[in-house]
């Protein structure tokens, strides 16, 4: 069960302590004073240029001017998403959207996110960061003031603290914090308490993958450089995988100022910074990594007092706080529910029938995520970019970097706790000893990383950090301890990409393009092994009288060439079979039985398509409004497409994987070239806009275009130039 579902069960058992009035809950007493914000447009000197694809290029006189325009442009394209995330990050969402939203409200209060923001916001951030954030929220509030008909007046104005809280919560969910907490709500304890060190040969795998909702999410980032490149160029594929729609789907923007800021790339709506992208001098891509960043301590409780726990032979008392959550029931009825939040010296505490657990996680008390992203956005060279990472405000994410000077880098970025070697940290920890409550993190320069590999290539696709390049260039696994919790998994994208790169003596621009769009599975991948098991499974165990169709399915899989191009006739069945295994691995669950998946997928195709071997392009579709196109690629291929069968459809709709992606290069003389495409278009929500789906066909056909980062090129393709609000 997902964390949010489990916490729903928990919150719904809370004691009902009060009934608020409907008027108070609606926030009418705190109506947004729009007149106070209507003059903000005159405060900032910024112009927004919309190109022929509707992409916003924001040009400000100062950095703060650009921040204001950046926020306003986002609001134009993503207002509903931005608007709805405000109560989500505040922990007040259930008062608006009902009991299903109470889970996150509880999580935010339990983790004391807002207490952390209030305590550190003024002191932990630089003055220039405060200035950026203030200008950004001015842009959001200005849009809200100009569009009261689109705005719930009770949740405005927003503040810089709202933005910081959003970065904090989103980052926790990206590195898989919820997976470790979910298991505490199972009926029985899920791990023993460690009594000694881990087996030195044990493969530590804290979390298998990451999902957003029920959608698997991965990413690719590939860098190549001279002398491996035929033409002496340095190239980077920026290809982070996300859902195709929603609050964590990629949005494209370009922000520039006369103070040196000039960056273009992808972000999630409501973000105050670019997440992946490029400048004139450098570029980076990000991939999700899964280091072990959460530890669970089992507290030794006083049998005569449920609020006391033992630490170093002495009794200590749990800290308590009231957690009150306003919940709207039945669409109109306001209730307030309450629970007592608990905390030990280890961290926040959960009490269940099978124990009392304290949670310690990477990034506790950290509020500088936005500041680090901003420093990366402003970096002008390799040293400045690495100095930004040395802030270590991010708990996770791999980064692959390239620049004009020919530098490339991979880093398995994480806030890796310095743990005692005396215990097995893949299990629960005894909570009665203060010497195993870690306090420090591994230094950035000690993390697994590769700079300017001799082989000339780096490939990150959510795999172990010890296999990202040629064998001689990889970080040495023996330099790290099992307690460090670095992942050991491989993905098909990792296996396949490294195999293709290793087969080449050198790589051309076209080969680099083809590598990113490769649609095959590796014979060394986990997926291929699962398919082999399905093809070789004993059909007699089914007990069915007619096994002919399943036998034909096994033959089809056995003879499949492992490709997911649109004209392939083995991909529909094979991708379905291996998709079940892939999704289970992403969730950290046991793989389904191969024969069961063979039967399920065979029956599904016969029911929906009338045959087990339809063309993959008939099954795998890219859909947006009236556009419905065949698309190549599949789950965990380098051309990553994750399809979902919608009710009533006989095909899969692309719902996650490749979204906005770029190929960035500097030639041997340092000249920049960028090509990219968005999965749909710049108008993420407006179905009436010409930019709602104007890139969808190019995306499906793998046609990339110049994103018009260069001002001179852009001037011939400007659709509209305006000041915010004008």
The two beta strands, 429-430 and 294-298, are parallel
DSSP code for 489: -
Band (pLDDT 50/70/90 cuts) for residue 10 is: very low
Binding site residue list for Ca(2+): 292, 294-295, 473
pLDDT of residue 217: 61
> What are the residue ranges spanned by the domains of the chain?
526-658
The two beta strands, 251-257 and 56-60, are parallel
| pLDDT of 204 over the 90 cut | no
Q: Compute the half-sphere exposure of residue 609: CA atoms within 13 Å on the CB side of its CA.
A: 22
User: Could you read off the pLDDT of 137-171 as tens digits, one per residue?
Assistant: 999 999 999 999 999 999 999 999 999 999 999 88
Measured CA to CA in angstroms, residue 296 lies from 179, 190, 587 at distances of 12, 11, 19
Own/partner contacts of 432-441, CB < 8 Å, gap of 24 or more, are 432/299, 432/300, 432/309, 432/310, 432/311, 432/312, 433/311, 433/312, 434/311, 434/312, 434/345, 437/297, 437/345, 437/346, 437/360, 438/295, 438/360, 441/362, 441/392, 441/415, 441/416, 441/417
Q: What is the pTM (predicted TM-score) of this model?
A: 0.93
Tokens coding 27: 């926030």
pLDDT of residue 16: 31
The continuous run of DSSP H or E covering 391 comes out as none
Residue 668, phi then psi, degrees to nearest 5: -60, -20
| Across 112-126, 176-190, 453-467, least confident range | 176-190
Catalytic sites, residue numbers: 219
Average pLDDT over residues 360-364: 95
- The pLDDT > 90 percentage for the chain reads 81
Euclidean distance between CA atoms 346 and 663, whole angstroms: 44
Band (pLDDT 50/70/90 cuts) for residue 197 is: confident
Q: 301: which strand partners?
A: 309
- CATH number of the domain at 526-658, please? 1.10.1400.10
3-state SS, residue 407: coil
DSSP code for 581: H
- The answer to whether 664 and 693 are in contact (CB under 8 A) is no
Band (pLDDT 50/70/90 cuts) for residue 198 is: low
| Higher per-residue pLDDT: 581 or 330 | 581
pLDDT of residue 5: 40
Band (pLDDT 50/70/90 cuts) for residue 338 is: confident
Q: 457: which strand partners?
A: 224
Band (pLDDT 50/70/90 cuts) for residue 195 is: confident
pLDDT of residue 99: 84
Residue 491, phi then psi, degrees to nearest 5: -110, 165
Band (pLDDT 50/70/90 cuts) for residue 546 is: confident
Residue 610, phi then psi, degrees to nearest 5: 75, 5
3-state SS, residue 546: coil
Mean confidence (pLDDT) of the chain: 91
DSSP code for 620: E
- The answer to whether 430 and 309 are in contact (CB under 8 A) is no
User: Could you read off the pLDDT of 374-396 as tens digits, one per residue?
Assistant: 999 999 999 999 999 999 999 99
pLDDT of residue 12: 35
pLDDT of residue 332: 65
Average pLDDT over residues 201-222: 58
Say how many residues make up the chain.
Answer: 726
């Amino acid at each position: 069960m997902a964390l949010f579902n489990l916490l729903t069960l928990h919150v719904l058992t809370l004691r009902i302590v009060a009934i608020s009035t409907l008027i108070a809950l609606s926030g009418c007493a705190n109506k947004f004073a729009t007149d106070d914000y209507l003059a903000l447009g005159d405060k900032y000197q910024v112009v927004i240029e919309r190109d022929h694809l509707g992409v916003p290029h924001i040009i400000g006189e100062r950095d703060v001017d650009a921040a204001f325009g950046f926020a306003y442009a986002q609001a134009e394209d993503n207002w509903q998403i931005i608007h709805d995330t405000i109560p989500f990050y505040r922990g007040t969402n259930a008062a608006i959207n009902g009991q299903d939203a109470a889970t996150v409200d509880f999580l935010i209060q339990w983790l004391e996110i807002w207490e952390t923001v209030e305590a550190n916001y003024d002191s932990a951030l630089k003055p220039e960061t405060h200035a950026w954030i203030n200008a950004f929220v001015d842009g959001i509030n200005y849009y809200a003031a100009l569009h009261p008909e689109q705005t719930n007046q009770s949740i405005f104005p927003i503040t810089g603290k709202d933005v910081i809280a959003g970065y904090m919560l989103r980052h926790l969910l990206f590195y898989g914090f919820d997976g470790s907490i979910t298991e505490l709500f199972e009926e029985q304890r899920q791990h023993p308490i460690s009594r000694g060190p881990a087996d030195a040969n044990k493969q530590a795998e804290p979390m298998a993958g990451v999902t957003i909702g029920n959608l698997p999410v991965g990413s690719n980032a590939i860098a190549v450089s001279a002398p491996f490149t035929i033409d002496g160029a340095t190239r980077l594929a920026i290809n982070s995988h996300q859902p195709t729609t929603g609050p964590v789907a990629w949005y494209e923007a370009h922000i520039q100022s006369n103070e040196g800021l000039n960056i273009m790339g992808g972000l999630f709506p409501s973000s105050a910074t670019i997440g992946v992208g490029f400048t004139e001098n450098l570029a980076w891509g990000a991939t999700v990594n899964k280091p072990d960043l959460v530890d669970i301590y089992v507290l030794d409780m006083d049998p005569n007092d449920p609020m006391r726990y033992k630490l170093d032979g002495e009794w200590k008392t749990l800290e308590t706080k009231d957690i009150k959550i306003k919940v709207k029931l039945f669409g109109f009825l306001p209730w307030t529910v309450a629970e007592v939040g608990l905390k030990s010296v280890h961290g926040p505490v959960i009490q269940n029938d099978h124990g009392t657990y304290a949670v310690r996680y990477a990034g506790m008390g950290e509020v500088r995520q936005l500041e680090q992203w901003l420093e990366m956005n402003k970096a002008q060279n390799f040293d400045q970019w690495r100095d930004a990472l040395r802030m270590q405000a991010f708990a996770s994410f791999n980064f692959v970097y390239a620049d004009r000077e020919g530098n490339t880098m991979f880093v398995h970025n994480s806030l890796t706790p310095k743990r005692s070697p005396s215990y097995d940290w893949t299990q629960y920890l005894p909570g009665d000893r203060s010497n195993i409550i870690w306090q420090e993190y591994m230094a950035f320069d000690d993390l697994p990383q590769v700079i300017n590999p001799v082989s000339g290539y780096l490939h990150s696709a959510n795999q172990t950090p010890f296999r990202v390049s040629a064998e001689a260039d990889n970080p040495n696994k023996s330099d790290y301890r099992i307690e460090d919790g670095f992942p050991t998994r491989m993905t098909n994208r990792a296996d396949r990409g490294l195999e293709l790169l290793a087969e080449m003596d050198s790589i051309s621009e076209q080969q680099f393009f083809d590598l990113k769009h490769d649609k095959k599975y590796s014979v060394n991948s986990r997926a291929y092994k699962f398919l082999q098991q399905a093809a070789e499974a004993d059909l007699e165990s089914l007990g069915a009288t007619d096994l002919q169709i399943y036998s034909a399915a096994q033959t089809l899989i056995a003879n499949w060439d492992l490709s997911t191009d649109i004209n392939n006739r083995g991909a529909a069945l094979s991708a379905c079979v291996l998709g079940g295994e892939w999704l289970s691995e992403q969730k950290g669950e046991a793989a389904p039985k191969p024969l069961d998946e063979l039967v399920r997928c065979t029956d599904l195709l016969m029911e929906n398509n009338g045959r087990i071997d339809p063309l993959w392009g008939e099954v795998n579709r890219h859909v947006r409004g009236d556009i419905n196109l065949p698309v190549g690629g599949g789950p965990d291929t380098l051309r990553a497409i994750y399809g979902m069968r919608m009710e009533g459809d006989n095909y899969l709709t692309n719902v996650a994987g490749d979204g906005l992606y770029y190929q960035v290069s500097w030639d041997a003389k340092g000249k920049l070239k960028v090509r990219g495409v968005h999965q749909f278009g710049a108008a993420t929500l407006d179905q009436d806009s010409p930019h709602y789906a104007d890139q969808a066909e190019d995306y499906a056909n793998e046609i990339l275009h110049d994103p018009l980062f260069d001002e001179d090129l852009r001037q011939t393709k400007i659709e509209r130039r305006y000041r915010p609000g004008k």
